[in-house]
Structure 1
Amino acid sequence: MRRIARPTCLLLACAALIITGACGDDRPPLASAADAAAAGAGEPSKQADPARGRRLIAERGCIACHTVPGVGGPASKVGPPLDNMARQAYVAGVLPNTPDNLVRWLLDPPAINPRTAMPNTGLRTADAQDIAAFLLLRAGTPEKTP
């Protein structure tokens, strides 16, 4: 005869599920909107342009490997999804997530992590700054579904 699981085990499992389900992501982004707009602040006169960054993501084919909220394209699972970038602690798991480090990564990923599958895409600094600003400003923005 099979024995039914003890009620205490079931109660603990249910409690764990409830607690896990109640955990929301109400944390503020690690990078603020002001930080994102000033991505690559080496050029004080230039503010990064998130709208241009969105266009560059589409034009440069980033969506061939990444799912990028706000940029239409095929569903891709080659690289990680790039939603909520400002809430990520690290860029590519190796650099602390700051606008400048995201720009560094976008400019030459293999120089940061030689084992990465992401190629050097030949971005210019201004392009990387605009893409970084777009990705960092997307944090917490709900995806609109048609």
Structure 2
Amino acid sequence: MTRAFSSMALSVMLCACLAGCKQPPGPRYVPDEAAAARGRAAIERVGCGACHAIPGIGWPRGRTGPSLDGFRDIGLIAGALPNTPANLAAFVRNAPRVKPGSTMPAMPLSEEESRDVAAYLYGLDDE
């Protein structure tokens, strides 16, 4: 009986360990180059660099918000949202609506422009 109990206990522990494993990541998001170029232009137009240091944007290099260098490798957007292109696009367009209490203001971006901004930020590591 103790041998059967040990096997059963080992099986339960193994199942518990496997249940705690994260799902493998989905395919890596590869931004469209044209969308990324439009995103850079939108970033410059609305002045994202006034608050953030953004690779490829020479001036201004703000320090109020976090640096966006290596953005696609962070786990959570604003410490709260899973880092996905859809969440990022929604956040850059209207951060207070997506994450109540956010200090980032709503930005004058269309839905398409916000997706382009996301494409630029996710493409930074490819440069």
SS in 2 for 1:139: helix
Highest Rg: 1 or 2?
2
Q: Residue 68 of structure 1: which of 54, 58, 66 is its match?
A: 54
SS in 1 for 2:125: coil
Tell me, yes or no, if structure 1 residue 117 matches structure 2 residue 113.
no
How far apart are 1:140 and its partner, in Å? Answer: 5.8
Cα 1:72–1:49 shift into 2, 3 Å = same
Residue ranges of structure 2 left out of the alignment (5+ in a row): 1-25
Residue ranges of structure 1 left out of the alignment (5+ in a row): 1-29, 38-46, 142-146
> In 1, distance between residues paired with 2:71 and 2:102?
18
How far apart are 1:74 and its partner, in Å? Answer: 2.7
- What do you get for the CA RMSD once the two structures are aligned? 2.2
Where does structure 1 differ by over 6 angstroms across 4 or more consecutive aligned residues? none
Paired residue for 1:105?
91
Give the percent of matched residue pairs that are identical in Structure 1 and Structure 2.
36
Cα 1:109–1:48 shift into 2, 3 Å = farther
> In 2, distance between residues paired with 1:123 and 1:114?
19
More helix as a share of residues: 2
Q: Residue 127 of structure 1: which of 89, 113, 122 is its match?
A: 113
Residue pair 2:35, 2:116 contacting (<8 A) in 1 also = yes
Kindly tell me the number of residue pairs found equivalent between the two proteins.
103
Give runs of aligned pairs for residues 18-33 of structure 1, distance below 5 A. Answer: 32-33=28-29
Q: Residue 137 of structure 1: which of 101, 123, 127 is its match?
A: 123
> In 2, distance between residues paired with 1:51 and 1:79?
22
Residue pair 2:93, 2:110 contacting (<8 A) in 1 also = yes
Residue pair 2:91, 2:98 contacting (<8 A) in 1 also = yes
How far apart are 1:59 and its partner, in Å? Answer: 1.1
Render the CA deviation track for 1:82-133: whole Å, top value 9, x for unaligned: 1111101111111100111111111210012221110011310010010000
> In 2, distance between residues paired with 1:116 and 1:70?
25
